[in-house]
Amino acid sequence: MKYLKSQMKQLIKDNQELQAKLDKLREEHSLEKNFALKALYHSEVAEGGKYQLAYQALDKPKD
């Protein structure tokens, strides 16, 4: 599975819990948004993370 910034932004936009985690990551580690997005992807999406299915569903074409 490949990291796509646009998909990650959409996933976070649709999920309050991920928004809070992104804000916490940025604050705790003084990260720029792009780096925090990538870190969140690796911790919550990649390799069977909690949000992997939701992330993959964003990649499917809509009928």
Query: What are 7-63's pLDDT values in tens digits?
Result: 999 999 999 999 999 999 999 999 999 999 999 999 999 988 999 999 999 987 665
Q: What is the pTM of this model?
A: 0.86
Is the CB of residue 28 less than 8 Å from the CB of residue 63? no
Radius of gyration of the chain (CA): 11
Cβ proximity of 51 and 18 under 8 Å: yes
Q: Which two tokens stand for residue 6?
A: 């646009």
Look at residue 1 in the predicted model and tell me its pLDDT.
82
